[in-house]
Amino acid sequence: MNISRSEELYRTALDLMPGGVNSPVRAFGSVGRNPLFIDHAKGSRIYDVDGNAFIDYVCSWGPGILGHAHPEVVEAVQKACVDGLTFGAPTGKENRLAGLIRDFVPSMEMMRLVSSGTEATMSAIRAARGYTGRDKIIKFKGCYHGHSDGLLVQAGSAALTQSVPDSAGVPASYAMQTLVALFNDRDSVRELFENNKDQIAALIVEPVAANMGVVPPEEGFLEFLREITAENGAVLIFDEVITGFRLGIGGAQEMYGIKPDLTTFGKIVGGGMPMAVYGGKKEIMKNVAPTGKVYQAGTLSGNPIATTAGIKTLEILGDHPEIYLRIEQKAKELAEAFRLRSVKRQIPLHVNQVGSLLCAYFTDVDVKDYAGALTSDTKAYAEYFGELLEHGIYVAPSQFEAMFVSGAHSDEDIRRTIEVLTA
Ligand SMILES: *Cc1c(COP(=O)(O)O)cnc(C)c1O
């Protein structure tokens, strides 16, 4: 595989940006390679600057549920551009997107549009603190909620493979307000509530943890979180930045039948453009400025172009619920192929799959939590990554990321991927 043009761009980038990238996991550091620079992408394929084509299972880390450059989304965006890129004033489009979200996710009684998942989770926590008048929050080890100071504690994904569980530059006094529990471990949650009576503003969780690979909640775990937060007057925040509009149009909360107090969305909700949302109970959200005292703002919030991409994407998903069945079926076929690979090559592999999200861990442990995820052989992952890349298949350059199936993955794409996986 010729990657000379990528290598050249990478050398230039190294001098311009830390590690040559604008988000750490793009650097391919944990698979011991240099990043490919992308030229364009269409449907299920991504093309690098040297003309290599790959079947893409990263899907821009989640947004690409319809595949790349979906013609209807692109057309809507092109039309919207002509009318102006940003106004800094309200538009009917924001109503349309918020209305769609509330139709699909009834717990979203009132919401705010923002520009990134990080902004959404940070703002949701501020709203919860303002509402409760409390400071402490609970998060789970291995769950990622963006890179705001208080949430960069034991934070999964890039932070896992790069061995920076706690970022430099985060004041200890911030981190102290963040209590860390273990996913799928009720006792760890109980203990924190008992030891911090009437001090917990919120508990934030990825209802399906998708930043330590893919770890589903055990039976009853989310119900337990709903109960214990309600008993303690704490706000339950579902971070559905990945799972929202992915595990079905109503996200994880619909799939598991739990109503959180607040929810954050990102990735899919912007249809590939910078857009995220936080919202939930009116009683909490009306405390946000200008109606309330919790300040939160954004020059480009509800940007008309990003909003257009989000609306079109959600409309397509709403009109075509069969997409969800199709992508789940394909994810199941891929999961099966990993099991076959394990048998054929006599290597330990354990696959977790929820809807169109899956992750194959190079371990013989049944991965149910963060400690289980960490048993994976990341060297074996790096080899697997290289093998797939050489065969024209692009998966996440890290063990602790999900593999995403999109509506653009054809039967032929899946067949080809299975062939490579089981060779
Ligand atoms: C990606 C992600 C975020 C952060 O979103 P950004 O848009 O990258 O800031 C937050 N929470 C979860 C669960 C995510 O997967």
For residue range 281-327, what is the model confidence (pLDDT) as tens digits? 999 999 999 999 999 999 999 999 999 999 999 999 999 999 999 99
Q: Pocket residues for ligand 1 (CB within 6 Å)?
A: 116-118, 121, 144-146, 206, 211, 239, 241-242, 266, 276
Phi, psi dihedrals of residue 96, rounded to the nearest 5°: -60, -45
pTM score:
0.96
Strand partners of residue 138: 179, 203
Positions in the chain whose pLDDT score sits under 70: 155-166
Q: Provide CB contacts within 8 A for 371, sequence distance 6+.
A: 182
Rounded to the nearest angstrom, the distance between the alpha carbon of 162 and the centre of ligand 1 is 17
Minimal CA–CA distance to 347: which of 398, 414, 422, 419? 422
pLDDT of residue 261: 99
Confidence (pLDDT) at 304: 98
Rounded CA-CA distance 205/250 in Å is 17
Q: Residue 347: left (phi > 0), alpha (psi -120 to 50), or beta? A: beta
CA distance 166 to 207: 22
In ligand 1, the atom with minimum distance to the C-alpha of 61 is 1
- For residue 77, the one-letter residue type is V
Under DSSP, the state recorded for 133 is: T
Ligand 1 midpoint to CA 284 (Å): 22
Other beta carbons within 10 angstroms of residue 194's beta carbon come to 9
Residue 170 confidence (pLDDT): 84
Each residue's pLDDT tens digit, 246-259: 999 999 999 999 99
* Probe target for ligand 1 pocket from 60, 115, 211, with the most ligand atoms within 8 Å of CB: 211
* H or E segment to which residue 56 belongs: strand 53-56
Centre of ligand 1 to C-alpha 89, Å, is 26
Active site residue ranges: 144, 239, 267
